[in-house]
A and B are shown apart, each in its own frame.
Chain A
Amino acid sequence: MRRLLAILLENEAGALSRVIGLFAQRNYNIETLNVAPTEDETLSRVTLSTTGDENRIEQITKHLNRLIEVVKVVDLTEGDHLERELMLIKVRAVGEMREEIKRCCDIFRGQVIDVTNDAYTIQLTGTSEKLDAFIRALGEAAVLEVVRSGVSGIGRADKILSL
């Protein structure tokens, strides 16, 4: 089962390497990883997606909590939550394909953020499934380069992860 963990971490050198090291050391996998400082700059927030059954997620959570620099861990998938991923994608766009791609981009509510004679760079946000669907819609042949941020997640409504 896919799980999305939100982790508040001391914003210190080496803290992230302990989190990643833990996953490697205990043979847990990381599917996506996203990290940046929060509004409180002494804290970083990590969103990490992984897979595993309930026992495994419980172990991961417990081991994360054992790390001194981990302040809080929440399994967002346990409750209502929102998740988004940002993708920058460069696609070949020549001749009549240019219109076609533009239309597809509009349907997915993407934005063309850079243009050359034979390529578009498109920015798209949404769930990971939406981004996957967009890539499929464009067709593999058109895709030149893909950058994805990894998932960011937040609890819905008044669920707040803070100190």
Chain B
Amino acid sequence: MTERLSGGEMLIRALQDEGVEYVFGYPGGAVLHIYDAIFKQQRIEHVLVRHEQAATHMADGYARSTGKPGVVLVTSGPGATNAVTGIATAYMDSTPIVVISGQVANEFIGSDAFQETDMVGVSRPVVKHSYLVRSAAEIPRIVKEAFYIACSGRPGPVVIDVPKDTTDPNVFFDYEYPESVSLRSYSPSTRGHSGQIKKAAKALLAAKRPVIYAGGGVIQGDAASELTRLATRLGFPVTNTLMGLGGFPGDTEQFLGMLGMHGTFEANMAMHHTDLIFAVGARFDDRVTNDPAKFAPDATIVHLDVDPASISKIINADIPIVGPAATVLAEIDRVVEAKMAADPDALDQRALADWWRRIRGWRREHGLDHDQRHRKGSNGSLLPQQVVQSVYRATKGQAFVTSDVGQHQMFAAQYYKFDAPRRWINSGGLGTMGFGLPAAMGVQFAHPDGVVACITGEGSFMMNMQELSTCMQYALPIKIINLNNQALGMVKQWQDMQYGGRHSHSTYRDALPDFKALTESFGHVSYRIDQLDELDDAMADVFGAKHKDDLVFVDAHIDPEEHVYPMAIKGGAMNAMVLERVDGRDDIRDDL
């Protein structure tokens, strides 16, 4: 028997039928009918945020940490435009979120009505797809399609713009949720081309100085175990992009660390000297390649990606494979396994051993220092790397870590070693300050018993700190580690390096709040740390049983003079890096 439901009820019912647990949202005139439908049900929990941008980041954090789509509900006009930054963030990092925005009634569209914004138009360049609901009867089909599109192929955000008349509580329709989607123009590839897979396996086995370069596609494509199996079988060095961390166990010798602009010396050197790059779910981003013309001169490139548009976009692929990372990696592994079983010399073990010797040499010379407790910052101050390492020890490497954008983000990526996917959550593509806290909230909703740390900077934190109120309302026990250098540190670093130390609008030392008092005013627990010898004890407390149910804010006052290294040299190849603080260089990359 079909039910008779209003448009607003159908929308919420369709979300239930999709298995949605949480909707992150904020009400307003255009969505009041929908909010009334939410009020009358129990299956979906609505989370009331304090700013719509934060709602999108929460949905995004939820999605990144689970692989399931995050859902946002905002009103028309300012509600919708506030959501755009979060939609763009999700788009750049290919995460599945569905954003439902209210719209003025169909009959008023185009009349500059109160709180009318052309949301489909405003969001068009930053969505995978979008819908404007023309009549209520379309709602079940549109919701079904929206979730399918958001989650399949290369995932991404989908907007559903819902005019108020289509949610009228007094007009009823037969509700039936479609079982399947039929879109003749959209069929993401479900497996790789078998000829290309054989070629790839052959190229891998023939390599003498190989590198596996794995990105966010391994995380989004749930391919970490397939990648790890193949990489382990081959014994090849693996490097991850900023988005790919956790796609291969970060605490193993086989892992070279992150590559790129602030990547490790050994990862970038290996990329430069390699004869074969196996790129998996990575897109040769400009933060990785440095000057594309000088990139990896001797390398054959095997590039696996679910999105054909990512292949040969920046760097030409010799062996392109379009397909989902998990299935294709498993197939390559089968071919490799068979070849290695048939021929013990299928892999040039001697060449590989030589290659590893060189890599270990680079690591010994300039690799990251994984225990910096012996260092002292200027005036004896605490160093940001020490704080990240202490968080790593206190959480035994098992936390979900979200971050913002700046120096603190790079320190977190360099020094927290992720050994599982979906644990490291940051805005890599858009670089959105203000992402960290709301993303951590989305993660905590998805994993109520998980340890969630947000490693942030005071600048980024202040971009969405109103959400401390939401954390209070929903009792979210997030641990916020504020690497407080009293500055927009990353900006200031660049100004030190190339602008003669002229800190144009990158400091605000005398205008910072008392973060301890601030967070306590929201009912949260707060610590202030500025000494190395109190650091580990404090972190043990913060992440211990004592504060299991508390949101704890750690205001860590760190050395404001510390810079992030290594750093790529502008216009160079990947082996061109600065390794320690040098002011007054004008050849450092200036495209912050």
Hey, which bits of chain A sit against chain B, CB under 8 A? 10, 13-14, 17-18, 21, 25, 55, 58-59, 62-63, 65-66, 68-71, 163
Q: Which of B109-140 contact A (CB under 8 A)?
A: 120-121, 124-125, 128-130, 132, 134
Question: Which residue from chain A places its CB closest to the CB of B310 in the assembled complex?
Answer: A62
Q: Which residues from chain B contact A21 at a C-beta distance below 8 Å?
A: 124-125
A63 touching B309 by the CB < 8 A rule?
yes
B309/A18 in contact, CB under 8 A: no
Which residues of the other chain, A, contact B125 by a CB distance below 8 angstroms? 21, 25
Given the known interface contacts A14-B132, A62-B308, the answer about A68 and B185 at a Cβ–Cβ threshold of 8 Å is yes
Q: Which residues of B, 159-218, contact A by the 8 Å Cβ criterion?
A: 183-186
| CB neighbours of B381 from chain A (8 A) | none
Closest Cβ of chain A to B154, distance in Å, is 8
Q: A13-B132, A14-B120 are in contact. Are A71 and B309 (CB under 8 A)?
A: no
Least Cβ–Cβ distance between A7 and chain B, in angstroms: 11
- Residue from A14, A25, A59, A70 within 8 A of B309 (CB atoms): A59
The answer to whether B309 touches A68 (Cβ under 8 A) is: no
Contacts known (A10-B185, A68-B129, A70-B185); A18 close to B313, Cβ less than 8 A: no
> Do A17 and B124 contact each other (CB < 8 Å), given the known contacts A58-B312, A59-B309, A71-B185?
yes
- Are the CB atoms of A62 and B185 closer together than 8 Å? no
Assembled-state Cα–Cα distance A32/B141 (Å) = 35
B34 within 8 A of A: no
Complexed CA–CA distance, A57 and B260 (Å) = 28
Tell whether B536 is near chain A: CB-to-CB under 8 Å: no
Shortest B384–chain A CB gap in Å is: 37
Look across to chain A and name the residue whose beta carbon is closest to the beta carbon of B316: A55
One of A17, A65, A68, A69 near B308 (C-beta < 8 A)? A65
Partner of A66, one of B121, B132, B183, B307: B307
A11 to chain B, nearest CB (A): 12
What is the CA–CA distance of A43 and B480 in the complex, to the nearest angstrom? 52
Closest partner residue, chain A, to B185 (CB atom) = A71
In-complex Cβ contact of A68 among B124, B186, B307, B313 (8 A):
B186
Closest chain B residue to A59, Cβ basis: B313
Majority SS of interface residues in chain A? Answer: helix
How far does the Cβ of B318 sit from chain A's closest Cβ, in whole Å? Answer: 15
Q: Which residues of A sit under 8 angstroms from B261, Cβ to Cβ?
A: none
Contacting residues, chain A, for B258 (C-beta < 8 A): none
Bound CA span A25–B313, Å: 16
Query: Chain B residues near A66 (CB, 8 Å)?
Result: 307, 309
CB distance from A86 to the nearest CB of B (A): 28
Contact across chains for B183 and A68 when beta carbons are under 8 A apart: yes
Nearest Cβ on chain B to A64's Cβ, whole angstroms? 9
A55-B186 in contact given A13-B132, A18-B124, A21-B124 (Cβ < 8 Å) = no
Distance in Å: Cβ of B184 to nearest Cβ of chain A: 6
Please judge, given known A-B contacts A17-B121, A21-B124, A25-B125, whether A55 and B185 are in contact too, CB under 8 Å: no
The verdict on B149 contacting chain A, using a C-beta distance below 8 Å, is yes
- What separation, in Å, do the CA atoms of A62 and B312 have in the docked complex? 11
Bound CA–CA A145/B130 (angstroms):
39
- CB neighbours (8 Å) of B312 from chain A are 55, 58
Complex-state Cα separation, A55 to B312, whole angstroms: 8
Report how far A18 CA is from B185 CA in the complex, Å. Answer: 14
Contact at A163–B309, with CB atoms within 8 Å?
no
**Chain B residues in the interface with A (C-beta under 8 A):** 120-121, 124-125, 128-130, 132, 134, 149, 183-186, 307-309, 312-313
* B87 CB to nearest chain A CB (Å): 15
| A residues less than 8 Å from B183 (CB atoms) | 68
| 30 A-B pairs in the complex with CB atoms less than 8 angstroms apart | A10-B185, A13-B132, A13-B134, A14-B130, A14-B132, A17-B121, A17-B124, A18-B124, A21-B124, A21-B125, A25-B125, A55-B312, A58-B312, A59-B309, A59-B313, A62-B308, A62-B309, A63-B309, A65-B308, A65-B309, A68-B128, A68-B129, A68-B149, A68-B183, A68-B185, A68-B186, A70-B185, A71-B184, A71-B185, A163-B184
Known: A13-B134, A14-B120, A59-B309. 5 other contacts (CB 8 A): A17-B124, A18-B124, A65-B309, A68-B149, A163-B184
CA distance A18 to B129 in the complex (A): 9
Q: Give bound CA distance, A69 to B129, whole Å.
A: 9
Question: Closest CB of chain B to A147's CB: distance in Å?
Answer: 27
Once bound together, how far apart are the Cα atoms of A66 and B134, in whole Å? 24
Assembled-state Cα–Cα distance A107/B186 (Å): 48
Instruction: Write out the residue numbers on chain B whose beta carbons fall within 8 Å of the beta carbon of A59.
Output: 309, 313
Q: How far is the CA of A17 from the CA of B307 in the complex (A)?
A: 22
A-B residue pairs, 5 tightest by C-beta? A62-B309, A71-B185, A68-B129, A25-B125, A68-B186
- A14 to B133 CA separation, bound complex (whole angstroms): 12
Chain B neighbourhood of A62, CB < 8 A = 308-309
| CA gap between A58 and B185 in the complex, in Å | 19
Could you tell me the distance between the alpha carbons of A30 and B146 in the complex, rounded to whole angstroms?
Answer: 30
CA distance A10 to B149 in the complex (A): 16
Expressed in whole angstroms, the minimum distance between the Cβ of B314 and any Cβ of chain A is 10
B residues in contact with A163, CB < 8 Å: 184
Residue of B nearest to A66 (CB): B309
B158 to chain A, nearest CB (A): 9
A66 to B129, CA, bound (A): 10
Enumerate chain A residues within 8 angstroms of B120, measured Cβ to Cβ. 14
Chain B neighbourhood of A18, CB < 8 A:
124
* Chain A residues with CB below 8 A from B124, complex form: 17-18, 21
Residue numbers in B under 8 Å from A17 (CB-CB): 121, 124
Chain A positions within 8 Å of B121 at CB level = 17
Docked Cα-Cα span, A125 to B6, in Å, equals 54
CA distance A62 to B317 in the complex (A): 15
Complex formed: what's the CA distance from A14 to B149 in Å?
Answer: 17
CB distance from A85 to the nearest CB of B (A): 28
B residues less than 8 Å from A10 (CB atoms): 185
Query: What residues of B have a CB within 8 angstroms of the CB of A55 in the complex?
Result: 312
> Which listed residue, B185, B307, B309, touches A69 by the CB 8 Å rule?
B185
Q: How far is the CA of A14 from the CA of B123 in the complex (A)?
A: 13
**Chain A residues with CB under 8 A of B308:** 62, 65
A92 to chain B, nearest CB (A): 40
Q: Which residues of A contact B129 (CB under 8 A)?
A: 68
Q: Which residues of B contact A71 (CB under 8 A)?
A: 184-185
Alpha-carbon gap, A87 to B313, bound state (A): 38
The docked-state distance in angstroms from the alpha carbon of A70 to that of B429 is: 26
The CA-CA distance from A55 to B317 in the complex, in Å, is 12
A63 CA / B134 CA spacing, docked (Å): 27
CA distance A18 to B121 in the complex (A): 9
Q: Give the docked Cα–Cα distance between A62 and B307 (Å).
A: 9
- Docked Cα-Cα span, A132 to B270, in Å, equals 56
A111 nearest CB across to chain B (Å): 39
Q: How far is the CA of A21 from the CA of B129 in the complex (A)?
A: 13
